[in-house]
A and B are shown apart, each in its own frame.
Chain A
């Protein structure tokens, strides 16, 4: 079952001659993590924004959890989708951490007595409860992104979209956020759509979609796509660490298994040889 269906969607920005997205058809399976990878300018962010009705669809059709994405259902769609953006600073609306989490709840007219519980719960889920009274200037980029995640968790969405949400963070903070997402996906059964230009991040997900020049070039299981070195190199996407190692070993005459191995599996395989 796919919770998000995109059918024949094209999009051209006003004033532009070339379409940013060209006849895209893709589906995102329920409770799975799909990573959309592609270069800057490949149209990945545009696709994500269309799915959340942040820009209006002009050609084609998008269905989110049974609801058509259009002007009429925009409130519904925003309720079902939680969207985390790239820049930690520019999505922090509240003057303090708890105020920022409250912002979405206030918009959805959640009564105040319920807010307190939901804010506490959401901040606890992202390990930021002790920072509730802090101001954004006192937080690191990674902490701000955690607050952004708490903000959308409090609204109880079904789908989480991350639009390069870790690209401005340092490697350690990035790793922490990815681990947090993994945990949330398992514990709360979210469907995750992550947009990234880094294959190392795609490793965390179930499926990968490759977007290039507004077209879908490949989509499938993460393990199938990331092990296809020709495909990854054709779109200049780089390879995750273990695949880089496999490629180097292969070039030097040591063949390794075709299937995707994560770091642990790779170590095991190497030590058993």
Chain B
């Protein structure tokens, strides 16, 4: 059993407190995220998921409560160093991360994070190369300006920039936004691969198909509170709860549910097209096979 990677206790956050524009983004969040899992964080725009992730990465100071990542624990009174520690453990790939590239060359840009952590030039370069290789980024483009690359390549460079810091926990905010189906597939395969290599992944997404296919745990936020915390299967099985949170089940689940309504007896909710096909085949074989 892997010990929890992240422990969040009674966490609240208020933007611009004590002003007329005060806004409570999170209230009383209690959450445990196990190590070496993929956790999907879902919810509408304004549900508080970005705020929560920024807190986990030590980019915001909590108004109340605490966050524990590994041996580091931060509270409203923690020192700047503690928050910096948190950032060292957690890597955060922002939405459309290609828009934060700035250096003269790809390799320089990827080295930026490691250098900020205080690594030597050589170590940083080694880490950067390793990260780029992991993303199968073409070697002959290392010295190119990042602004000459295609959108998909730029995104890989940006992700490499975070991976090169070798965080144990990786937060990805809508990593496939704006990519074509092929690019989406490749990127999710990469996420899967990183997970298999032992990283704890937190995936912020609107794509329920991704939640169904990849996540071990789902956390749904609504109005700054945890509306659901459990497995994707549990979440998508309960249609009334899903509706209450304002979510729509993935296409495969909806399809299976409609089939059930039509009297096709499907036993297990399919989390992807493969599983759906298998379920259908089970039913068909059961009807037409020798069992009949």
Contact = CB atoms under 8 A, between A and B. Distances in A.
| Centre residue among B177, B206, B208, B277 by max chain A CB count within 10 A | B277
A19 B273 CA distance: 39
A273 interface: yes
A197 B277 CA distance: 25
B181 A238 contact: yes
Contact of B277 (A140, A171, A252): A252
A133 interface: no
A137 interface: no
A270 B206 contact: no
Interface in B47-70: none
Contact of B207 (A40, A171, A248): A171
B280 A270 contact: yes
Interface in B249-292: 251, 255, 258-259, 262-264, 273-274, 276-278, 280-281, 284, 287
A171 B273 contact: no
A140 B44 CA distance: 10
Given A40-B151, A254-B284, A267 B258 contact: yes
A91 to B, nearest CB: 16
A39 B264 contact: no
A268 to B, nearest CB: 8
B17 interface: no
B240 interface: no
Given A254-B281, A270-B264, A199 B181 contact: yes
Contacts of A238: 180-182, 185
A267 B254 CA distance: 11
Contacts of B181: 197-199, 237-238
A41 interface: yes
A130 to B, nearest CB: 18
Interface bracket on A: 20 to 34
B45 interface: yes
A236 interface: yes
B178 A39 contact: no
Given A140-B45, A254-B284, A168 B178 contact: yes
B150 interface: yes
A237 B181 CA distance: 7
Contacts of B258: 263, 267
A249 interface: yes
A187 interface: no
A198 B287 CA distance: 36
Interface string A252-273: 1010000000010011101101
Given A241-B273, A248-B277, A252-B277, A39 B180 contact: yes
| Centre residue among B248, B251, B262, B287 by max chain A CB count within 10 A | B251
Interface in B118-169: 150-152
B254 to A, nearest CB: 8
Contacts of A236: 182
Given A199-B181, A248-B277, A252-B277, A273 B284 contact: yes
B206 A271 contact: no
Given A40-B151, A270-B259, A249 B277 contact: yes
Given A168-B178, A245-B273, A248-B273, A263 B255 contact: yes
A248 B251 CA distance: 15
Nearest to A199: B181
B180 A271 contact: no
A41 B181 CA distance: 14
Given A171-B207, A252-B281, A198 B180 contact: yes
A269 to B, nearest CB: 10
A79 interface: no
A12 interface: no
A26 B126 CA distance: 51
A199 B184 CA distance: 13
B285 to A, nearest CB: 9
Contact of B280 (A39, A171, A237, A249): A249
A268 B261 CA distance: 11
Nearest to B96: A168
Contacts of A263: 251, 255, 258
A248 B274 contact: yes
A40 B255 contact: no
17 contacts: A39-B180, A40-B151, A40-B152, A167-B178, A197-B180, A197-B181, A237-B182, A245-B273, A245-B276, A248-B276, A249-B277, A249-B280, A254-B281, A267-B262, A268-B262, A271-B263, A271-B264
Interface of A: 39-41, 140, 167-168, 170-172, 197-199, 236-238, 241, 244-245, 248-249, 252, 254, 263, 266-268, 270-271, 273
Which 9 A/B pairs are nearest by Cβ-Cβ distance?
A238-B181, A248-B277, A197-B180, A170-B206, A271-B262, A244-B273, A236-B182, A267-B258, A241-B251
Given A168-B178, A236-B182, A245-B255, 18 more contacts: A39-B182, A40-B150, A40-B180, A40-B183, A237-B181, A238-B181, A241-B255, A244-B273, A245-B277, A249-B280, A249-B281, A254-B280, A254-B284, A263-B251, A267-B255, A267-B262, A270-B259, A271-B263
